[in-house]
């Protein structure tokens, strides 16, 4: 399972003493090893150990001693177990968000989804791409640390965005933890992102060699559904992606479902080199140049 990424956050160990008043509390945490803890969690643990200590003072002191580390989500901390000094979980802030707001809806998107699905050979080191429903409001502290992507889907579509059970079985990915235990976009939703918002994906050079695997994993009927009310240009780019992944016939068939009969001229990517593909009315400045580079190396 791919979970570690090179931009994992580090914690600084200051003083790992165990005060007498915290011994039982820390013993419980060492046993349970929670990834994140909220104020309510600490309050419950203090009550369970029979302590009357004030919650905020407890959190402040254990944070000072290096047992807790604040996240970018207010009111949530990560616990640093004995013998460990680093937080190696790249999604710790997302887990904190879910712990604070269990009803929150989001999914790993872009490079993160592509990495876990096996379409990248290396993890992306920039901000994690996360899909959120239209009009969703991620915690303020997280907004500058994530690449937020909305694609016109609401909360009702959230359950339809992930990979199918059949795909996970076929690719031998654990259904429960394939994306670090978080929701993630499946291949069809990822293709929609790539087609509707090409600039939102930042690792095209790594993805292009795996386009055939990506398109092979796509179910065209699911792709048609998820394209739904997307622009005509998104439909054209999605069809062209199928073509680039050696599913030409499926790409042509996809175009028959587009909302507009007329196909405008569409640009795919930016760059000095362009390949015109009249069947899809696409001026490809991204994929074909990268494929040519690969063939020439």
The full length of the chain comes to: 297
150: containing domain = 105-296
User: Do 290 and 184 sit in the same domain of this protein?
Assistant: yes
pLDDT at position 174 is 85
- Asked whether residue 243 falls in the same domain as residue 289, the answer is yes
Are residues 194 and 142 located together in one domain of the fold? yes
Q: Verify that 116 and 84 share a domain, yes or no.
A: no
Residues 275 and 130 grouped into a single domain: yes
Q: In this predicted structure, what is the pLDDT of residue 2? A: 47
Whether residue 81 sits in one domain with residue 226? no
Q: Write out the two tokens for 47.
A: 């009550």
Residue 6 within any structural domain of the chain: no
Task: Give the total number of structural domains in the chain.
Answer: 2
| Residue 212 in this model has a pLDDT that exceeds 90 | yes
- Whether residues 117 and 221 share a domain: the answer is yes
In angstroms, rounded to a whole number, what is the distance separating the alpha carbons of residues 266 and 90? 36
With respect to residue 37, please indicate whether it lies within any of the assigned structural domains.
yes
Q: Domain with 62 in it: what CATH number?
A: 3.90.56.20
State the DSSP string of the chain: -----TT--B---------GGGHHHHHHHHHH--SEEEHHHHHHHHHHTT----HHHHHHHHHHTTSEEE-SSTTEEEE--TT--B---TTHHHHHHHHH-TT---EE-HHHHHHHTT--SS---SPEEEE--TT----GGGTTTEEEE--S--GGGGGGSSPPHHHHHHTT--TTTTTTTS-B--HHHHHHHHHH-GGG---HHHHGGGHHHHHHH--HHHHHHHHTT--HHHHHHHHHHHHHTT-HHHHHHHHTT-S-SS---EEES-SS--EEETTTTEEESSHHHHHHHHHH-
Per-residue pLDDT of 218-273, as tens digits, reads 999 999 999 998 999 999 999 999 999 999 999 999 999 998 888 999 999 998 88
Residue 137 has pLDDT above 50, yes or no: yes
Spatial distance between the Cα atoms of 113 and 193, rounded to a whole number of angstroms: 11
Contact between 133 and 154 (Cβ < 8 Å):
yes
pLDDT tens for each residue of 184-210: 999 999 999 999 999 999 999 999 999
Q: Is residue 10 part of a domain?
A: no
Give pLDDT, residue 262: 87
pLDDT on residue 15: 57
Terminal CA-to-CA distance of the chain, rounded, Å? 30
| pLDDT for 12 | 46
In terms of pLDDT, which residue wins out, 293 or 14?
293
- Mean per-residue pLDDT, 36-49: 94
How would residue 293 be classed by pLDDT, with cut points 50, 70 and 90? low
Least confident of 162-166, 175-179, 224-228: 175-179
pTM flag (> 0.85): yes
Rounded Cα gap, residues 85 and 55, in angstroms: 24
Examine the pLDDT at 9 and tell me if it is beyond 50. no
Same domain, 163 and 79: no
Does residue 7 fall inside a structural domain? no
Model confidence at 3: pLDDT above 80: no
In a domain, 160, yes or no: yes
Percent of the chain with pLDDT over 70: 93
The residue-averaged pLDDT of 59-77 equals 94
pLDDT per residue over 78-110, tens digit each?
999 988 887 889 999 999 999 999 999 999 999
Q: Is residue 5 part of a domain?
A: no
Residue 13 domain flag: no
């Amino acid at each position: 399972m791919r979970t570690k990424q090179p931009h994992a956050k580090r914690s600084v160990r200051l003083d790992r003493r165990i005060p007498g008043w915290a011994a039982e509390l820390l013993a419980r945490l060492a046993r349970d090893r929670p990834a994140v803890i909220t104020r309510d969690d600490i309050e419950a643990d203090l009550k369970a150990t029979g302590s009357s200590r004030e919650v905020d003072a407890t959190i402040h002191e254990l944070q000072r001693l290096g047992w807790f580390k604040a996240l970018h989500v207010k009111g949530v901390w990560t616990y640093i177990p004995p013998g460990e000094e680093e937080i190696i979980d790249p999604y710790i802030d997302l887990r904190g968000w879910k712990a604070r707001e269990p009803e929150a809806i989001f999914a790993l998107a872009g490079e993160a989804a592509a990495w876990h699905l096996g379409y990248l050979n290396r993890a992306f080191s920039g901000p994690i791409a996360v899909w959120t429903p239209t009009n969703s409001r991620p915690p303020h502290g997280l907004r500058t640390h994530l690449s937020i992507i909305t694609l016109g889907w609401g909360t009702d579509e959230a359950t339809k965005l992930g990979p199918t059970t059949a795909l996970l079985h076929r690719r031998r990915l654990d259904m429960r933890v394939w994306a670090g235990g978080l929701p993630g976009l499946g291949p069809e939703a990822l293709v929609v992102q790539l087609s509707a918002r090409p600039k939102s994906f930042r690792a095209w050079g790594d993805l292009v060699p795996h386009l055939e695997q990506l398109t092979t994993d796509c179910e065209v009927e699911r792709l048609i559904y998820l394209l739904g009310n997307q622009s005509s240009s998104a439909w054209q780019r999605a069809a062209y992606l199928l073509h680039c992944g050696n599913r030409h016939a499926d790409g042509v068939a996809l175009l028959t479902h587009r909302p507009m009969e007329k196909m405008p001229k569409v640009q795919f990517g930016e760059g000095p080199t362009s390949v015109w593909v009249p069947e899809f009315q696409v001026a490809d400045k991204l994929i074909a140049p990268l494929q040519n580079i690969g063939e020439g190396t």
